[in-house]
Each structure stands twice: as structure tokens, then as C-alpha cells.
Amino acid sequence: MTPAGRQPVSRRLPDFPWDGLASYAATARAHADGVVDLSIGTPVDPTPAVVRDALAAASDAPGYPTTIGTPRLRQAVVDWLGRRFGVTGLGLDGVLPSVGSKELIGALPVHLGLGPDDLVVIPELAYPTYEVGAALVGARVLAADSLTAIGPERPALLWLNSPSNPTGRVLPAEHLRKVVEWCRERGTLLVSDECYLECAWDAERPPVSVLHPDVSGGSHEGLLSVHSLSKRSNLAGYRSAFVAGDPVVVAELLAVRKNLGLIVPAPVQAATAAALYDDQHVAEQHSRYAARRAELRGALERAGFRVDHSEASLYLWATRGEDCWATVGWLAERGILVAPGSFYGAAGAEHVRVGFTATDERIAAAVARLA
């Protein structure tokens, strides 16, 4: 039921893309050896013991946690970004935990107070939630990878995503720096989705955060970066993520989120800090994914696919030079379920996104079927 005379909010939103995959999923599940689901990218390996131990130790949590997060958690973020990615100048007031990164991304235009008069710029091939967040507030959306394509307008919000979902493309520091300068000249908030920053494979240069001084010029003004522990630490079930950057913008988000009660549970905060301080489990998981990626990429290429970009992230951006739905159908007949590239924008019409987060056994099954 909606208030009289009002259109349901759901009608503002694009169709949920995964609903269109249902018939192909049924075909893939009918395979005699079962489905190999490479469509979503859900972690399947165990949550690291160091994280589970921290969660258990903090499980006696009768009181309300704070929205801003514990000092230990925020310090862990500062230390992690500095240790792993050379970010300097970040203080505890520039960090805010969130209930998963999708919630934060989807709600960001609401929390920033954007509306129909505002323009949100997203990548041409993009995680659909960027557009969903803009649609919730009725903002205009422009999909553009070139700054010149934006024209004279001053966007309220510009999204970057490097490494990219779905393509795995890594943007070089020089390009990121130009975007930062462009946004600052126009008063545009630049938000960089960096959830796959630790999932690099064969990039010529490692992925870099917009908060790195070579990109930001040593100031985080007008910049936010979004991070998730779902993939790097197998914490998708914990809904553990955070945003870091401009303390003025973080303070505004904190004020809104406090009023809405958007709080990461205390045990999850403790587990997140433990995960960020432990690099060993990340290296072990990276090795697992690297092996699966190599096997799957080789099998796809032997089967006539071309793999584009895919220098990082947890997906292979593959094509046979045909409509993506035809490729989805061809793979589904072999019991392999993938995501059509059109889910992520018109530019993906001839590609499919193939995840390699399945178990070793299911990856081996996909390789055998592709042969």
C-alpha cells in the first residue's frame, strides 16, 4: 500500500536484472552433474579462523554499538589503507563502517540529500546499484567513461569503480588524478568503489586508491572510497564494509545514519578489525582464486572465448562475439550459469561475466564441460 496519489517507489527502479536469468538457471540446474553457478560471485571458502575467533570473543554484546564504529575498528581501517595501499593523512574521523557495501552504495544519494535536480554519473559498464541509488531519489543518471561526454554540467556525484565490476579493468593513477581534479573544479563529490582493490592478477600496474597521495594530491577533500571485506576475507555473510575519505562528508553521512540506526553489530566490528590486521589469510585466499582463475580462463579461451580486461576483481569478462544472451544459453546447456553483460550496461551486449569464486571441484567441472 502506498500513500494516496503516490507512485510506488519500486516503479522508479530498473527491473531487477537477476529475475531475467531464471529460465537459464533452470536449464543449468537440470544438468546431470548439477549446476556450476558462476553468475554472482558468492564466496565459498571458509571464513578465516582469526576472524571467527574475534567474532566469538566479542559475542557478549548486550548494549547498543555506536554508528561511528569503535576506535579500534577505525584505526584498523587507517592502518590497513596505509600499510597495503600507501594512503596517508587519513584520520579516525574519516572512517565510517557500513552494513555491507551495497547498502551504502544504494543509499548514498538519499543520505547526501540528492534529488531530481541532480546529475549522477556512473561508468558505462557498472554495478547496477549505482543507478538504483540515483533512481531512488529521482536523480538523473549519465553513463560515461569520458569526462568530455559529461559536457558543461556539474554532477552532484560521480562514481568510479577500479578494479571494475564487471570487467576487471584497472584505471591507472594518472587517469584517476585527472578525474579528481575535474571533480574538484566543479564541486562534484567523487566516490570510488574499491571493493576489489586486493584482487589483482596480471595488471601492468597494481590498483591504486583515489585516497593515495599520488592521486589525491595529499588531500581527501571531496573524495570517498568504499571498501568491503566480503571477497578479500570471505565475510559476505557478516555484511562488513566501510567508507573512508573526506571527514566533512563522513560527518554528514554519520549524522544521517545515526538517525536511521544504521549500525554495524559490535561483534562484526571486532571481527572486521581482526580481518584488516591479518594479511596471511588474504594471501592464502588470493592464491586459491589465482589458481581457479587460471584454470577457468584457459578453458574459456580453448573453447573459443576471448577474455577482455580482467586484470583484477573476481570475474572474467568473456565474449564469443555474439549477443550475450546467446552465450548465456550456450553455457546453460552445459550446466554453467553466468551473468549476461547487458546487466551492466549497453556496452556489455556481447560479453558475459564469469565468476571464479566457486569451489575447486565446481571449477574443475566447468573446465571439463567447456572441453
CATH of 9-46+281-370, one of 3.40.640.10, 3.90.1150.10, 3.20.20.70, 3.40.50.620: 3.90.1150.10
Measured at the CA of 178, the angle between CA 175 and CA 184, to 5 degrees, comes to 145
Region 315-320: what's the mean pLDDT? 98
151-170: pLDDT as tens digits = 999 999 999 999 999 999 99
Are the C-beta atoms of residues 250 and 112 closer than 8 Å to each other?
no
Of the ranges 17-31, 70-84, 240-254, 327-341, which one carries the lowest mean pLDDT score? 17-31
- For the cut 70, the answer to whether the pLDDT of residue 7 exceeds it is no
* End-to-end alpha carbon distance in the chain: 52
Other C-beta atoms closer than 10 Å to the C-beta of 108 total 26
- For the cut 90, the answer to whether the pLDDT of residue 16 exceeds it is no
Of the ranges 7-11, 263-267, 351-355, which one carries the lowest mean pLDDT score? 7-11
245-287: pLDDT as tens digits = 999 999 999 999 999 999 999 999 999 999 999 999 999 999 9
- For the cut 90, the answer to whether the pLDDT of residue 288 exceeds it is yes
| Chain-centre distance for alpha carbon 343 | 15
- For the cut 90, the answer to whether the pLDDT of residue 19 exceeds it is no
| Chain-centre distance for alpha carbon 138 | 23
What pLDDT does 204 receive? 74
List Cβ neighbours of 368 (8 Å cut-off, separation of 6 or more): none
User: Going along 44-156, which residue ranges are E strands?
Assistant: 95-99, 119-122, 140-143
Q: Which residue has the higher pLDDT, 198 or 3?
A: 198
For domain 61-277, the CATH architecture is 3-Layer(aba) Sandwich (3.40)
* Nearest C-alpha neighbor of 225 from the set 205, 246, 254: 246
- For the cut 80, the answer to whether the pLDDT of residue 13 exceeds it is no
114-132: pLDDT as tens digits = 999 999 999 999 999 999 9
Distance of CA 199 to CAs 24, 232, 235, Å?
29, 7, 15
What pLDDT does 15 receive? 66
**pLDDT bucket at 226, cuts 50 / 70 / 90:** very high
- For the cut 90, the answer to whether the pLDDT of residue 56 exceeds it is yes
Establish how many alpha carbons lie within 13 A of residue 241's alpha carbon, considering only the half-sphere containing its beta carbon. Answer: 23
Give helix 266-277 / helix 49-57 axis angle, nearest 10°. Answer: 150
Region 67-96: what's the mean pLDDT? 98
User: Going along the chain, which residue ranges are E strands?
Assistant: 36-37, 95-99, 119-122, 140-143, 157-161, 189-193, 223-228, 240-245, 306-308, 315-319, 336-337, 339-340, 352-355
Quote the CA–CA distance of 336 and 332 in Å, as a whole number.
Answer: 5
Predicted model pTM: 0.94
Peptide bond into 265 cis (omega under 30): no
Give helix 129-136 / helix 101-111 axis angle, nearest 10°. Answer: 30
Quote the CA–CA distance of 337 and 330 in Å, as a whole number.
Answer: 10
What are the structural domain ranges in the chain?
9-46+281-370, 61-277
DSSP 121: E
Average of per-residue pLDDT values in the chain: 95
DSSP 198: T
- For the cut 60, the answer to whether the pLDDT of residue 369 exceeds it is yes
